Chain A
């Protein structure tokens, strides 16, 4: 296809570098430097998508990141396709494929287009209103709604691209590289501030760089020419880092900003390969200069959304920057002078401008004379009342505006065209400013929200600060910059400036039509198909808050977040409700400014790097021996060790039997270990545990229960007294960090007078737990010199020993009810000690077991697991562990709460054992418990917390919390399941070896 709309070569486009790309399956050509949008327009393609709700044909409206319509699917036929990309931001490369969204079967013939004719049936809140009744039908409705909703399609496989994060610290961050940003960055760096300049585009210079207005001159040159020289000088400045294609997504407190740097999206496939696609910059800046510019506003009139209707500034950029004419018969519709600059640019390039329609009575700007000289007809005080053309605008109808601007009069004039540039004034891009938490103020005369205050850490300069004209911009920038950076002089304060001034203003948020509003379609939010009519309806229905109107009408809720139309929505609400815009306020601007792909957000934290894993020193042995692992906190723990062909159940039953019959070994290295030292260590333990510690002899161990101040069980574990002022505390695997944090908290804030020091030593020791009647024999083989008699090394005691010259701590403690020894070796010898135990245990068929068997064995003994049998609502009394709560101690954490009327209630949920009537049925953990089967509604008495089939008892056992369970011993209850009711009997929590005889077996 011919490039029939490429009008004049442009310095920003490399016409020697022809690039082919596909759009909707058809091949087109463009040049290096084109965006997908400029290349499509050059190929005379304006229809690029269908609107969200009505499926109306839509074209390219803008030339930047604010684009609401031209959002496309990139790589549509690949399973790593990317939806909702803005054609105005995609730089074309060889092999680029893109397609329209939200249309079927094609953008030219879209069946959904019928919605447009049914539009009266789709008012604001349509879905809320229609699908409410009958309620039970919702699931059916949902199926159809979900299938017709959504814009692009999401990729269905893992993103193969590489993403990265980088932290940046700088003195001064400048956001936006238009004329203000460039001058600010240059002067900041020249004054020895480490400066970072960011811009979302690939070229520096903002809109000034393609400016051709002869009335705007700096040092008697065109502003664009002068700026090019300034940009050229940036290369030689130290302290200045410039990043293009970098869009600031978020501006958080304390000058913390997130920006997406796009590194390879503009490259062809070959050059993309193995490179980082995008990088998330995490920037902490001492000072931030916002120079984000302004966005042009559309005008809101009937049928203002047809392909070929574009922002006037975009029409200018396509002609001046890309060398592309957006149409052959152009019309401009405006309320300010900037459309005249666009018109003149086109005219000077030989592109025909049919007319300019201006809602103002007149303008005394100098540029008007040039327009008159060019023979372009100006219709003063006229408004467009309708447009025609389905897939491309073909004509406009205009009528004279009444003096008050609320109606149109006289006869209708029709003018044909193929492109309509609309200019509704400018909106400062204050998104980042407000994200930072700063407040806006409304300028009633100029109809703009502008930053209320500059601070020592942040200023807004240029048009995002409300300065639109060249002399204003430069003068204010000079003044602000000197104050902000505390410098005496800038390098641009002596330049001479000439520019045109706009004096005549007229703003009408919703332009009148000769038809009643009910019959018109004045779009406010193009992407979400919200019209002025919808906003008025919302107000009639009683919505008042701007945030509610936004959500009800979906205005500003598309992927563009209403960058174009939000101001008009506010204006129409203010006008209709009769309030001032300043009082109405704005909706909240939320990050990100433009959408971010998830890949950028997660960076390198994918796959095995998603979270940190902790592995024990014996991990390699577990892998070699085919262990299945389970995640406990960040730890990878051996879950069970299946033998050839064994199911999990079979493996666990085998391991459990072996541990009680002969010997088992468990890797307990993950238990939290806290080293406690200091002259007040005993007193400290007295205060943090429920039981008494002062009398614990050196070399002895004790089990302790730790509560929260509210009396609920927080953690448990065995603590050993190593010396007069030295203890080692063990905690649950998952609770280790929190327990240390809690203990530190009390030490530092409540009891600073105590002489106690806490050190986390979890990673310093590896722990092999030997258990079973033969464990003593195995340990004896390993350390023949050690007297293992019950007298010399009794249950709940500790010995420090040497195994192969390695200093180890052995605790004779048990979590299984069997005779058991925990060998703690320095972590780096963990695997060696483990191997030694396995070797020594061979003749006793020592069986390695995992967490599942450990849980089963302890359940047989009725030992609790904090976090499984407790849930932050259980006191020790609820757990029937009254024996561990000291009555003598004056105080400990949580003591007072045990005497609150609520915690003392008799009928709280209490821990009990449950036995099923049929011993082969294993209850489901979490299953509810009731006492009646035929009652409706039935009271839930509690739930099952632990449940196993015990191979040693040959029956199913369970622990449960049951309301008033203490008084229900022997009672028959029911566990109702989906297809059966299971009869259970309340029993003692200890199922096995009630008299603890096996501990000394």
Chain B
């Protein structure tokens, strides 16, 4: 059970949150211009990294806000939490 520092509410137990998959995959602005392969890349392809992964989380049973998290999947260490629209930390 992680302890997650919601950028809007503060530290809360993991059971208040929902994981939302890989972060920083932008929905194409003009889907009709894309080939099947390009659209499939957006739709289906996700990374599964051992190490630091950027992912989306939602404070589903709290403020309902979405935010981003950099998490080391090998030891579940949360390296950073930042708001939607913000750039991922470089380190």
Q: By the criterion CB–CB under 8 Å, are A254 and B1 in contact?
A: yes
Partner pick for A253 among B1, B32, B39, CB 8 A cutoff: B1
Docked CA distance A748–B75 (Å):
29
Stretch from A32-40, A63-71, A568-576, A888-896 that touches the partner: A888-896
Question: Considering the complex, which residues of chain B in the window 20-70 have a beta carbon less than 8 Å from any beta carbon of chain A?
Answer: 20, 26-28, 30-32, 34, 36, 39-40, 43, 56, 58, 60, 64-66
* CB neighbours of B2 from chain A (8 A): 253-254
Q: By the criterion CB–CB under 8 Å, are A253 and B27 in contact?
A: no
When C-beta atoms are compared, the residue in chain B nearest to A708 turns out to be B43
When C-beta atoms are compared, the residue in chain B nearest to A751 turns out to be B27
Interface: B13 (CB within 8 A): yes
Question: Considering the complex, which residues of chain A in the window 859-907 have a beta carbon less than 8 Å from any beta carbon of chain B?
Answer: 890-891, 895-897, 899-901
User: What are the 6 closest A-B residue pairs judged by CB atoms, nearest first?
Assistant: A896-B31, A256-B1, A254-B3, A748-B66, A750-B27, A253-B76
Partner pick for A895 among B1, B31, B60, B66, CB 8 A cutoff: B31
Can you list 30 A-B pairs, Cβ within 8 angstroms, ordered by A? A253-B76, A254-B76, A256-B1, A256-B3, A284-B3, A437-B76, A709-B27, A709-B43, A741-B58, A741-B60, A744-B58, A744-B64, A745-B58, A745-B66, A748-B65, A748-B66, A750-B26, A750-B27, A752-B84, A890-B32, A891-B30, A895-B32, A896-B28, A896-B31, A896-B39, A897-B39, A899-B32, A900-B39, A900-B40, A901-B36
Interface: B85 (CB within 8 A): yes
Interface: A252 (CB within 8 A): yes
Q: By the criterion CB–CB under 8 Å, are B1 and A900 in contact?
A: no
Docked CA distance A750–B43 (Å):
14
**Chain A residues within CB distance 8 Å of chain B:** 252-254, 256, 284, 437, 709-710, 741, 744-745, 748-750, 752, 890-891, 895-897, 899-901
Q: How far is the CB of A361 from chain B (nearest CB, A)?
A: 45
Docked CA distance A750–B31 (Å):
14
Docked CA distance A891–B66 (Å):
23
Q: By the criterion CB–CB under 8 Å, are A744 and B27 in contact?
A: no
Docked CA distance A750–B34 (Å):
18
Docked CA distance A284–B3 (Å):
9
Q: By the criterion CB–CB under 8 Å, are B85 and A752 in contact?
A: yes
* CB neighbours of B31 from chain A (8 A): 891, 895-896
* CB neighbours of A745 from chain B (8 A): 20, 58, 66
* CB neighbours of B32 from chain A (8 A): 890-891, 895-896, 899
Q: Knowing that A437-B76, A745-B20 are A-B contacts, what are 15 other residue pairs whose CB atoms are under 8 Å apart, sorted by A's residue number?
A: A252-B1, A253-B1, A253-B2, A254-B3, A256-B3, A709-B27, A744-B64, A745-B58, A748-B65, A750-B27, A890-B32, A891-B32, A896-B32, A897-B39, A901-B36
When C-beta atoms are compared, the residue in chain A nearest to B2 turns out to be A254
* CB neighbours of A891 from chain B (8 A): 30-32
Docked CA distance A785–B49 (Å):
66
* CB neighbours of B34 from chain A (8 A): 896
* CB neighbours of A750 from chain B (8 A): 26-27
Docked CA distance A750–B27 (Å):
7
Docked CA distance A284–B31 (Å):
46
* CB neighbours of A899 from chain B (8 A): 32
Docked CA distance A741–B27 (Å):
17
Docked CA distance A752–B83 (Å):
12
Q: A253-B1, A254-B1, A284-B3 are in contact. Are A749 and B75 (CB under 8 A)?
A: no
When C-beta atoms are compared, the residue in chain A nearest to B38 turns out to be A896
* CB neighbours of B58 from chain A (8 A): 741, 744-745
When C-beta atoms are compared, the residue in chain A nearest to B4 turns out to be A254
Partner pick for B66 among A253, A256, A710, A744, CB 8 A cutoff: A744
Docked CA distance A284–B18 (Å):
20
Q: By the criterion CB–CB under 8 Å, are B66 and A749 in contact?
A: yes
Q: How far is the CB of A249 from chain B (nearest CB, A)?
A: 14
When C-beta atoms are compared, the residue in chain A nearest to B66 turns out to be A748
Q: Looking at A744, A748, A897, which has the most chain B CB atoms within 10 Å of its CB?
A: A748
Docked CA distance A284–B84 (Å):
28
Docked CA distance A741–B20 (Å):
11
Q: How far is the CB of B59 from chain A (nearest CB, A)?
A: 11
Docked CA distance A709–B20 (Å):
15
* CB neighbours of B30 from chain A (8 A): 891
Residue-wise, chain B 6-21 has the 8 Å CB interface mask toward A (1 for contact) of 0000000100001010
Docked CA distance A748–B64 (Å):
10
Docked CA distance A748–B59 (Å):
12
* CB neighbours of B43 from chain A (8 A): 709-710, 897
Q: By the criterion CB–CB under 8 Å, are B84 and A749 in contact?
A: yes
* CB neighbours of A284 from chain B (8 A): 3, 13
Q: How far is the CB of B19 from chain A (nearest CB, A)?
A: 12
Q: How far is the CB of A46 from chain B (nearest CB, A)?
A: 44
Q: How far is the CB of A834 from chain B (nearest CB, A)?
A: 31
When C-beta atoms are compared, the residue in chain B nearest to A895 turns out to be B31
Docked CA distance A891–B34 (Å):
13
When C-beta atoms are compared, the residue in chain A nearest to B39 turns out to be A896
Residue-wise, chain B 70-81 has the 8 Å CB interface mask toward A (1 for contact) of 000001100000
Docked CA distance A741–B58 (Å):
9
Q: How far is the CB of A37 from chain B (nearest CB, A)?
A: 35
When C-beta atoms are compared, the residue in chain A nearest to B65 turns out to be A748
Q: A253-B2, A437-B76, A896-B31 are in contact. Are A748 and B39 (CB under 8 A)?
A: no
Docked CA distance A891–B30 (Å):
8
* CB neighbours of B84 from chain A (8 A): 748-749, 752
When C-beta atoms are compared, the residue in chain B nearest to A257 turns out to be B1
Docked CA distance A640–B65 (Å):
40
Q: A752-B84, A896-B31, A900-B39 are in contact. Are A437 and B75 (CB under 8 A)?
A: yes
* CB neighbours of A710 from chain B (8 A): 43
Q: How far is the CB of A257 from chain B (nearest CB, A)?
A: 10
Docked CA distance A473–B65 (Å):
49
When C-beta atoms are compared, the residue in chain B nearest to A253 turns out to be B76
* CB neighbours of A437 from chain B (8 A): 75-76
Docked CA distance A899–B38 (Å):
13
Docked CA distance A684–B64 (Å):
19
Docked CA distance A741–B26 (Å):
18
Docked CA distance A897–B40 (Å):
9
Q: Looking at A896, A897, A901, which has the most chain B CB atoms within 10 Å of its CB?
A: A896
When C-beta atoms are compared, the residue in chain A nearest to B64 turns out to be A744
* CB neighbours of B18 from chain A (8 A): 741
Q: By the criterion CB–CB under 8 Å, are B56 and A749 in contact?
A: yes
Docked CA distance A752–B65 (Å):
12
Q: How far is the CB of B54 from chain A (nearest CB, A)?
A: 13
Docked CA distance A750–B26 (Å):
7
Docked CA distance A752–B36 (Å):
27
Q: How far is the CB of B67 from chain A (nearest CB, A)?
A: 9
Q: How far is the CB of B33 from chain A (nearest CB, A)?
A: 9
When C-beta atoms are compared, the residue in chain A nearest to B28 turns out to be A896
When C-beta atoms are compared, the residue in chain A nearest to B60 turns out to be A741
* CB neighbours of B26 from chain A (8 A): 750
Docked CA distance A284–B39 (Å):
44
Docked CA distance A895–B31 (Å):
8
Docked CA distance A437–B43 (Å):
34
Docked CA distance A890–B28 (Å):
13
Docked CA distance A159–B3 (Å):
33
Q: How far is the CB of B47 from chain A (nearest CB, A)?
A: 18
* CB neighbours of A890 from chain B (8 A): 32
Q: How far is the CB of B28 from chain A (nearest CB, A)?
A: 8
Docked CA distance A744–B58 (Å):
10
Docked CA distance A744–B60 (Å):
10
* CB neighbours of A897 from chain B (8 A): 39, 43
Q: By the criterion CB–CB under 8 Å, are B60 and A900 in contact?
A: no
Docked CA distance A741–B13 (Å):
19
Q: How far is the CB of A994 from chain B (nearest CB, A)?
A: 35
Docked CA distance A256–B11 (Å):
14
Q: By the criterion CB–CB under 8 Å, are A900 and B66 in contact?
A: no
Docked CA distance A459–B79 (Å):
21
When C-beta atoms are compared, the residue in chain B nearest to A710 turns out to be B43
When C-beta atoms are compared, the residue in chain B nearest to A709 turns out to be B43
* CB neighbours of A900 from chain B (8 A): 36, 39-40
* CB neighbours of B20 from chain A (8 A): 745
* CB neighbours of A748 from chain B (8 A): 65-66, 84
* CB neighbours of A252 from chain B (8 A): 1
